[in-house]
Amino acid sequence: MFGFLKKLTAGTPSIDVAELDARLTAGEVRLLDVREPNEFKDGHVPGAVNVSMRRLPDQVGKLKKDKPYAVICESGSRSNSATGYLLEQGFEGVVSVRGGTSAWRRSGRKISR
């Protein structure tokens, strides 16, 4: 059922939180948070849209393709899987955020609730 979750590739494109911040500020990317809704409510990067990993296959058709996506989770594992999945679905320029929301928090950047 969730076979795509197991497909982790070492070559998954990724960026760090500083680059994410710069790309968000420039309006170059959309931010997709693939954590569970309760995790998202506990704190997320401002402007992130929440579609949990388990819902991603059902929701992928509703995602806009006008900008590339930066995909974030708590630490980077789920976002790596989701990035690979979105690339397989024809999304271009998708990147995973290394260190996830934890790294964003540790950097002192703003968290929304």
- Cα(40)–Cα(84) distance, integer angstroms: 21
Integer Rg of the chain from CA: 13
Annotation says 73 is catalytic: yes
- Cα(10)–Cα(1) distance, integer angstroms: 23
93 Rama sector, left if φ>0, alpha if ψ -120 to 50, beta otherwise: left
Q: For the sheet containing 30-33, what is the strand order?
A: 14-15, 95-97, 69-72, 30-33, 49-50
- 32, 73, 86, 95: which one is catalytic? 73
Catalytic site residues?
73
